[in-house]
Amino acid sequence: MITPPGHDQITLTAPEGRHLCNDRQHRNLGRLAEAIVTFGQLGIPGTPREAFWPECWGRSYPMCGLCWKATREIAQQARPHLAIQDATQSSGSVTSRV
């Protein structure tokens, strides 16, 4: 069982069924999601300089590989202690601190 992401964590899960990428252009092109990306609390609530993407906290988004790569790079720059739990592999869940 995958636990919801916590502080400075993002969880990746495999999409069940066919999901289009959340990006509008990719969705219009019919690009399928490769992962469902769920955001934990990235930063400290109520502190604008520390709260990173608060509108995404606790939400899940289907993303293609390109969108996930861009999202990961931006999040890693903003939150250097970010941990990513990748549960997309059949071997089980692996948590990595990046």
pTM here? Answer: 0.87
**Residue 53, domain member (yes or no):** yes
Residue 17 structural domain: 9-97
pLDDT digits (tens, 9 = 90+) for 20-33: 999 999 999 999 99
Among the residue ranges 19-33, 55-69, 80-94, the one predicted with the least confidence is 80-94
28: number of Cβ within 10 Å: 10
- Any domain includes 1: no
Asked, for residue 2, whether it belongs to a domain, the answer is no
* Residue 97's pLDDT band (cuts 50, 70, 90): low
